């Protein structure tokens, strides 16, 4: 081994360790995922040293992730539902959603301004795209294009709705 190789060895090892640590913090091992891409029951068991990945649900949060229908907004102004194409939101694939927004009395909210954003609280990052409402489909339905989740785990998708002079936010929680 030359003097140059001896200096490069520790640097290379440090770089490999750094890559493994950085990547390992944002990925779920394949053995903890089901063939559908969903987390297996093993993935739900936190390690004794792991910090909680999920924030404490607030007043408008659902009691469990992946509730797709009837999620109330923070102040109870609106109720929202979502569907994805494909049905289960994929990882690293840009896809679209249809949001359905209604009042608590089940009246569709039409002509609303809708803003969609998402983040992964445990990792401190948002979505890799900026989803946009591209069509008011009528009857309280809104097409959202540009949905993308770069990794599996716990996500919160925030939908801010402004209609009839009122603004409120719905938090959809997802475990992908």
Q: pLDDT tens digit string along 22-45?
A: 344 454 433 333 344 444 333 333
CA distance 112 to 135: 11
CA distance 36 to 24: 21
For residue 64, the model assigns a pLDDT of: 62
Place of tokens 């990547």: 23
For residue 87, the model assigns a pLDDT of: 87
Domain extents in the chain: 3-32, 65-175
pTM across the whole model: 0.66
For residue 58, the model assigns a pLDDT of: 43
For residue 90, the model assigns a pLDDT of: 93
For residue 2, the model assigns a pLDDT of: 55
| CATH ID of 65-175, from 3.40.50.970, 3.40.50.1820, 2.60.40.1930, 3.20.20.210 | 2.60.40.1930
- The parts of the chain modelled with pLDDT lower than 70 are 1-65
CA distance 45 to 10: 35
For residue 104, the model assigns a pLDDT of: 97
Longest pairwise C-alpha distance within the chain: 77
């Amino acid at each position: 081994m030359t003097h140059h190789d001896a200096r490069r060895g520790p640097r290379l090892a440090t770089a490999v360790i750094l890559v493994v640590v950085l990547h390992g913090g944002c990925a779920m091992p394949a053995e903890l995922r089901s063939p559908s891409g969903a987390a297996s029951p093993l993935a739900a068991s936190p390690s004794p040293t792991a910090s909680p990945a999920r924030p404490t649900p607030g007043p408008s949060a659902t009691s469990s992730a992946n509730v797709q229908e009837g999620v109330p907004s923070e102040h109870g102004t609106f109720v929202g539902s979502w569907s994805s194409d494909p049905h289960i939101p994929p990882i690293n694939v840009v896809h679209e959603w249809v949001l359905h927004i209604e009042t608590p009395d089940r009246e569709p909210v039409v002509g609303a301004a809708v803003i969609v954003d998402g983040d992964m609280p445990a990792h401190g990052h948002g979505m890799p795209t900026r989803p946009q409402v591209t069509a008011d489909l009528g009857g309280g339905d809104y097409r959202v294009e540009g949905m993308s989740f770069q990794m599996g785990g716990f996500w919160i998708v925030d939908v801010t709705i402004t209609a009839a002079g009122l603004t409120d936010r719905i938090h959809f929680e997802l475990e992908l």
